[in-house]
Amino acid sequence: MSLLVTGSIGIDTVRTPYGVSENCLGGSAVYFSMAASFFCAVRLIGVIGSDCPFDLAQVFAGRDVDLTGLEVRAQSKTFRWAGSYHDNMNSRTTDNLELNVLAEAPPSVPAEYKDSEFVFLANTTPALQLQLLEQIQAPIFVAADTMDCWIAEKLDDLKILLKKINCLMVNDAEARMLTDEHNLIKAVEAILGMGPGVVIIKKGESGSLMCSADGDKFILPAYPAAEVKDPTGAGDSFAGALMGYLAQKGKTDFESLKTAIAYGTVAASFTIADFSLAGLTSINKTDIDNRLETLRKLTQF
Amino acid sequence: MSLLVTGSIGIDTVRTPYGVSENCLGGSAVYFSMAASFFCAVRLIGVIGSDCPFDLAQVFAGRDVDLTGLEVRAQSKTFRWAGSYHDNMNSRTTDNLELNVLAEAPPSVPAEYKDSEFVFLANTTPALQLQLLEQIQAPIFVAADTMDCWIAEKLDDLKILLKKINCLMVNDAEARMLTDEHNLIKAVEAILGMGPGVVIIKKGESGSLMCSADGDKFILPAYPAAEVKDPTGAGDSFAGALMGYLAQKGKTDFESLKTAIAYGTVAASFTIADFSLAGLTSINKTDIDNRLETLRKLTQF
């Protein structure tokens, strides 16, 4: 089935204890699309400025990523982010943030994308996520990400969004902040009460937790990676493989969601093994399937 | 097979956001024995003072816990610990620590315990762990716990101990401290290089990780508990059920160790649901087996 992602396309500069990657390609829509493309065709919506040094058609060459929704604005500059990861790789400092084109009017949804069935609204203002979602005619399964600043500053909009999506994917700190509840299980139950039928909590190196409004639960550890070079994009790769698997299967039952989370976990483990997109572009679907089986073996008793 | 534990017996005062439990029974050997007693007979070695208000024979009534190794010193005072858990329940402050009898000469190993096959050396000075271990004739499987202060102050003794045990169980911070390696997989590999054939990392609400010198790995999330009232004793309950299961089976192959970790995870989840030992004394083996199956369902995909 069709899969649409709306999110950022950025120029990143990343510093980790393993090195520096300057002016590399990043952004939620890019990581998402790359991971999802192992499973199904992806429709991308995003906007860049004329300064963007990357040819996205080249970046996604050989992958079924539809760039009809990519808008290049001649008078604008591309979103830029620079960040430094600390020694433990679990926390980071933003060194520079230039919203640029992301602060302008949002991209529009192309007519040929309006029948999209699976939709991922990557992190941006909840109002913008709503505006993009309203342009999709009859989505089957809509998932969204959000972040601390929107929970703090745009909570009313976010609560409207939560009533219109099927799945919220946030990290543990965001779930706690959104619900003012430290215990994660209670936090998830509170979020389920706000609208989405499924809540997925990303806990970084501690794995993930999924709960449904029907009372189903699933917990999965992260893949035990000996090499973590750059955690940037892990969450978006997780979402990409997860949504890609679901769209490929055309299913959203809880069993399918469990396998989708496992694929998301595997994709994230490849992303963090190298800088920028190198961890994802150097593998194929067989590598992903093999690691899924390894993860299954690692967690079964 | 026979299971021996040497560890502390204490009088605890615990403050958590859920309340205060003053002068309750605690100590590593107590939590361990209670959890292990669901699986097999337990031989306990520990020492208390004449001030101890608890009748351990009564505490363990109906359970197969041998108290031959319990020493009561008329002139001594019992170990006391008071601690406060912070709002997130993952960190705590020690409010009071009185080693008392733990600072005196260690208890001896009774003659009838010397043939013990499975041995758990709960956290104390590595020199004392070694001294106790040397009194056991031909143990089959020896596991030990340790903590930050011994890693910092008694590293030479600890390294000797590591060459004489089969399994080290520590938390993630201790593993990193012992090896000066942040990545947990690398830290575990470094510890395996120090002697033990199996290393188990306890990561609190993030679950556990086990690696063997043969290259086998296992990761398991914590049981998703909506109610955490008092985390005290979680690690010792984990160790107790784990070792109890192994001793009951009389096996230490990796598959058995995986199931043992799952049982440890379940025991810990019951312990933290209430203050002191109440979480463990209010359940039976069927409750434990049922939750093991729930945990299996929660983690399989």
List pLDDT tens digits, range B70-82: 999 999 999 999 9
Question: What pLDDT, on a 0 to 100 scale, did the predictor assign at position B173?
Answer: 93
Sign (positive or negative) of CA dihedral A145, A147, A150, A152: positive
Q: Which of B87, B228, B299 sits opposite A299 (nearest CB)?
A: B299
What share of chain B in percent tops pLDDT 90? 87
Q: What is the mean pLDDT of residues B258-276?
A: 97
Chain-chain contact of B224 with A225 (C-beta, under 8 angstroms): no
Q: What is the mean pLDDT of residues B29-50?
A: 97
Per CB distance under 8 Å, which residues of A are interface residues toward B? 87-89, 182-186, 189, 203, 205-207, 209, 217-221, 224-228, 255, 258-259, 261-262, 296, 298-301
Amino acid letter at B212? S
Chain-chain contact of B298 with A219 (C-beta, under 8 angstroms): yes
List pLDDT tens digits, range B197-232: 999 999 988 899 999 999 999 999 999 987 889 999
Residue of B nearest to A205 (CA): B206
Question: What pLDDT, on a 0 to 100 scale, did the predictor assign at position A125?
Answer: 86
Question: What pLDDT, on a 0 to 100 scale, did the predictor assign at position B18?
Answer: 87
Chain-chain contact of A185 with B224 (C-beta, under 8 angstroms): yes
Chain-chain contact of B220 with A299 (C-beta, under 8 angstroms): yes
More confidently predicted of A37 and B18? A37
Q: Which of B88, B183, B221 sits opposite A207 (nearest CB)?
A: B221
List pLDDT tens digits, range A217-275: 999 999 998 788 999 999 999 999 999 999 999 999 999 999 999 999 999 999 999 99
- The greatest distance separating any two alpha carbons of chain B, rounded to the nearest whole angstrom, comes to 58
- Tokens 């999965």 found at: A220
Question: What pLDDT, on a 0 to 100 scale, did the predictor assign at position B270?
Answer: 97
CB A9 within 8 Å of CB A48: yes
Question: What pLDDT, on a 0 to 100 scale, did the predictor assign at position B87?
Answer: 75
CA–CA gap between residue B82 and residue B15 (Å, rounded): 8
Residue of B nearest to A184 (CA): B226
Chain-chain contact of A209 with B224 (C-beta, under 8 angstroms): yes
Q: Which CATH class is domain A3-299?
A: alpha beta
Residues contacting residue B295 through CB under 8 Å, at least 6 positions apart: B220, B223, B262, B265, B266
Report the first-to-last Cα separation within chain A, whole angstroms: 34
CB B171 within 8 Å of CB B146: no
Question: What pLDDT, on a 0 to 100 scale, did the predictor assign at position A92?
Answer: 87
- With a cut of 80, say whether residue B161 has pLDDT above it: yes
Amino acid letter at B205? E
Mean pLDDT estimate for chain B: 95
SS3 state at A64: coil
Amino acid letter at B99? L
Residue of B nearest to A298 (CA): B218
Q: Which of B218, B228, B259 sits opposite A183 (nearest CB)?
A: B228
Question: Which tokens sit at A273?
Answer: 């093994």
Chain-chain contact of B203 with A207 (C-beta, under 8 angstroms): no
List pLDDT tens digits, range B81-110: 999 998 777 788 899 989 899 889 989 999
Q: Which of B183, B224, B301 sits opposite A217 (nearest CB)?
A: B224
A283 to each of A41, A93, A261, A275, A280, how far by Cα in Å?
Answer: 18, 29, 19, 14, 6
Residue of B nearest to A229 (CA): B183
| Sheet containing strand A42-49, strands side by side | A65-73, A42-49, A3-6, A118-121, A141-145, A167-171, A198-202, A208-212, A217-220
Mean pLDDT by 10 residues, chain A (301 residues): 96 92 96 98 97 97 97 96 85 89 91 98 91 96 94 95 98 95 93 98 93 96 89 96 98 98 98 96 98 97 94
Chain-chain contact of B182 with A207 (C-beta, under 8 angstroms): no
Question: What pLDDT, on a 0 to 100 scale, did the predictor assign at position B225?
Answer: 84
What share of chain B in percent tops pLDDT 70? 100
A190 to each of A148, A170, A175, how far by Cα in Å?
Answer: 17, 13, 9
Run of H or E residues at A286: helix A285-299
CB A107 within 8 Å of CB A119: no
List pLDDT tens digits, range B168-200: 999 999 999 999 998 899 999 999 999 999 999
Question: What pLDDT, on a 0 to 100 scale, did the predictor assign at position A83?
Answer: 93
Q: Which of A189, A258, A301 sits opposite B220 (nearest CB)?
A: A301
ipTM, two decimals: 0.85
Domain residue spans of chain A: 3-299
Question: What pLDDT, on a 0 to 100 scale, did the predictor assign at position B91?
Answer: 81
Residue of A nearest to B181 (CA): A88
pTM of the prediction? Answer: 0.90
A1 to each of A51, A245, B61, how far by Cα in Å?
Answer: 34, 10, 62
Count CB pairs under 8 A between chains A and B. Answer: 87
